[in-house]
Amino acid sequence: MVASLNNWQHVLGYQLAAGLPNTELVYVNDHYDPILLDQLVDPKSWIVSDFHWQLPPTNRQTLCYPYFLIALCNQARREILPMPHKYITTGCFNFMVYKTRPLRRVFLELLQYFKLSTNFYTANTGQHMKPLEITHSDPEISVFLDYRKITPLTLPARIIATKVEQGYNISHYLKFLEREVFGPSAVALITEPIEPEWDNSMNFSEKTIFAMLGCNLPIWVGGVNQASLWAGAGFDTFDDVIDHSYQTKATTIERMYYALKDNLELLTNLELAANTRKQLHDRLVANRKRVFDNVINIWAETNLSKAPDNIRQSVKNCVQSFSS
């Protein structure tokens, strides 16, 4: 029996099964309670994640099968031309914060702290982003934490009213995001959903795929080891020009802080950002092509092949049900 814990009903349509304690496989998305899962699920059950490539700590056997990303890449192949438009770089970086998550507010506070600004983003008003209590012993980060206590957050000046359900799909990327966010800017500051209490987890979503389609240099703000894991899936992460050393820091706030600090020159010097993007054009286009070639699917199948036969078949059955 297979069950799914999720709230992405357009992707993973199963509800929590009544027989969950006896399931052999539980499919989870980017929002779930690992403590509740440990209470409900038989210890022999496998957790298969659609988003997390490194799950929060659990005693269960785990596997990542990113069905949503695979479906998104297939949609891109159907709807987008493999070769991009001739992008003219007029901004250093872009970002997306259309959900009100606590760490997204910290991200906006960090932009303000480092005096980073851009015209290329999609954002909500942030009115419901409550301040997140953070403490840290790093002297530099302590200065930032003191700053955020006394400095009101100035919300993005140009609010883009992107409905959450629009943000996930390729059609919205084509109609709006490519032209207004990703196309004109060199670097994507990728704010993948990370829960504050999960310092050692990470995931990938449409934000990373859109950065590849937009021929952007990727910087992941928050997750652990994201650049390395993305490279392991077959993509170029441009570690010869991007300092990804932030990804190995012990805590989320450290990874967020140093992702920006260690790449400030590229995020503030438009001439450098534009020239770097131009020089790396062929590699960026190759990354875009990897989306159409769906190297994520190849990675997922390789990952799945390492699981026991019964789990492989259960995942296949689950994906087939989602697809139908």
User: Does residue 12 carry a pLDDT above 80?
Assistant: no
Quote the mean pLDDT of the chain.
Answer: 81
pLDDT given for residue 111 in this prediction: 94
Percent of the chain with pLDDT over 90: 42
Q: What pLDDT, on the 0 to 100 scale, is given for residue 296?
A: 94
φ, ψ of residue 204 to 5 degrees: the values are -125, 145
Q: Provide the pLDDT confidence category of residue 16 given band limits of 50, 70 and 90.
A: very low
Q: CA 195, 24, 315, 15 torsion: positive or negative?
A: negative
Choice between 158 and 24, residue whose per-residue pLDDT is larger: 24
Task: Please state the three-class secondary structure of the chain as a single string.
Answer: CEEEECCCCCCCCCCCCCCHHHCCEEEECCCCCHHHHHHHCCCCCEEEECCEEECCCCCCEEEECCHHHHHHHHHHHHHCCCCCCCCCCCEEEEEEECCCCHHHHHHHHHHHHCCCCCCCEEECCCCCCCCCCCCCCCHHHHHHHHHHHHCCCCCCCCCCCCCHHHHCCHHHHHHHHHHHHHCCEEEEEECCCCCCCCCCCEECCHHHHHHHHCCCEEEECCCCCHHHHHHHCCCCCCCCCCCCHHHHCCCHHHHHHHHHHCCHHHHHCHHHHHHHHHHCHHHHHHHHHHHHCCHHHHHHHHHHCCCCHHHHHHHHHHHHHHHC
Higher pLDDT, 179 or 323: 179
- pLDDT at position 197, please? 64
Distance in angstroms (rounded) separating the CA atoms of residues 147 and 264: 19
Query: What is the tens place of the pLDDT at every residue in 216-263?
Result: 999 999 989 999 999 999 999 999 999 999 999 988 999 999 999 999
- 1 has pLDDT over 50: no
pLDDT in tens, 105-135: 899 899 999 999 888 887 765 555 667 788 8
- Output the pLDDT for position 163: 52
- Joined together, the tokens standing for residue 160 give 């883009």
Q: How far apart are CA 208 and CA 98, in angstroms?
A: 15
Averaged pLDDT, 268-283 = 97
Residue 128: per-residue pLDDT: 56
- Domains annotated on the chain, with CATH: 2-64+295-323 (no CATH), 73-292 (3.40.50)
Tell me the Cα Rg of the chain: 20
- Please report the pLDDT score of residue 166 as a whole number: 52
When pLDDT is cut at 50, 70 and 90, the band that residue 215 belongs to is very high
Report pLDDT for 203: 84
